[in-house]
Amino acid sequence: METPLIVIAGRPNVGKSSLFNRLVGRRQALVADQPGLTRDRQEATAVLGGRLVRIADTAGLEEAPPESLSGRMRAGAASSLEQADLIVFVVDARAGILPPDAHFGAWLRRLGRPVLLVANKTEGRAGYNNALDAYSLGLGEPLSVSAEHGEGLSHLMSTIAEMLPPAPEGAEEEPTEEGEKPLRLVILGRPNAGKSTLVNRLLGEDRMLTGPEPGITRDAITLPLRDTTGREFQLVDTAGLRRRARVQDEVEKLSTGATINAMRFAEVVVLVVDAVDGLHDQDLQIARLVEREGRAMVVALNKWDAVEDRDATRKAVSDRLERSLAQLKGIPVVTLSAMTGANVQKLLPAVRAVHDTWNKRITTSALNRWFEDAVSRHPPPAVQGRRLKLRYVTQANARPPTFVVFGTRAEATPEDYRRYLVNELREVFALPGTPIRLDFRGTVNPFNEKE
């Protein structure tokens, strides 16, 4: 059964994102006292009145030339409204009914979709009285709420449930299938590297707002994707990450926080790099952050169609990755053009491959055969005049592969010997491009303990 779609609409800064967060029960959309914060459609599922629904937050409706950023935002919101089973049209009761409210209210009446008029920011007697002005829009009785303070939300939820199209008789919600969960894939990169264009190309539709302006994407937007093999993904487009010293604007701080949070819940990260500009220090900083969080990663060299000397560019990128990201040795690099679609089909197979590596488990017997050979070829060094005795190794976890070495004074193992073992692990057990965690734990000799 098709899940009903509820779309929240209104002019900028009327509280649509605050209302969206209240309805879905979590802070998913960015909220700040700044008009035009939401640019791309943010969507989530929720249960209202016992019905499973999809709720979409949209960019503010405002008049602007079609080619402008505001015009493209309005076009994206209009596309969502045409698909809605119910439109929740939000006005600001404190500001009163403004000409844009009247303009878009008339447009919604012509659209022919069910509309629920909501007067937000109705805290106190004055707010409630101002809400009555919304009758002039001709969209029926306004429902008074305060999304910021949570007032009137239960009445709103029940009203939404009553206005939804009835479920087919005897229909039940589709059961959740047991099995493979969607792979959570997060797209990261600097501003204007082409992340949203790549997401649109993978989806096969213009779902994300794109353009020449850097920093268009602000929210972390989660989208479902199924590839040609039937594998399901949760694809997350994010705001571009700049150096921390350059992030001064409060909205950009919120966007950066949402991006970092999305990365921490990722399984695989695609780091999108502008191949024309080459690999910058900020790209490497992002990659190191991904490695510290233990996520698998693929580098996508975007705008490859615009690169003049491809051999030199590929070598420069490979050399810099080798020097600067030794802890992710063998990281896969895919050259592509999100704009033209060239080689984009190679990206998801690379993502699936690094995900398999990230999930890899190795038997204890195979590990210890390798460990015995590695230690015999290159014995551990002496520390403070006493040689370390490393006895055995086991895999403690996957996602990322995590191993523990046990032995007498193992915790004193020098960093260069630890790197030697990690490199050997990566090469022998085919673990390219994935973070490897190697812990050392000393064992206690009870005969040496003092009373």
Q: Does residue 341 contact residue 349 with C-beta atoms inside 8 Å?
A: no
| Mean model confidence pLDDT for the chain | 83
CATH superfamily, with its number, for domain 364-448 = K homology (KH) domain (3.30.300.20)
Quick one: pLDDT at residue 274? 95
Of residues 77 and 15, which shows the higher confidence score?
Answer: 15
Note whether 5-163 and 183-358 share their fold.
Answer: yes
407, pLDDT greater than 70: yes
Ordered by start, the domain boundaries in the chain are 5-163, 183-358, 364-448
Class of domain 5-163: alpha beta
pLDDT per residue as tens digits for the range 199-214: 989 988 876 655 555 5
> If you average pLDDT over residues 209-221, what whole number do you get?
61
116, pLDDT greater than 90: yes
Dihedral angle over CA of 201, 194, 63, 33, nearest 10:
120
> If you average pLDDT over residues 372-395, what whole number do you get?
91
Share of the chain above pLDDT 70, in %: 80
Class of domain 183-358: alpha beta
User: Exposed, middle or buried by CB within 10 Å (0-12, 13-18, 19+), for 278?
Assistant: middle
83, pLDDT greater than 70: yes
Q: Does residue 301 contact residue 343 with C-beta atoms inside 8 Å?
A: no
174, pLDDT greater than 50: no
109, pLDDT greater than 80: yes
175, pLDDT greater than 50: no
Q: Does residue 381 contact residue 403 with C-beta atoms inside 8 Å?
A: no
Helix (H) or strand (E) segment spanning residue 233:
strand 232-237
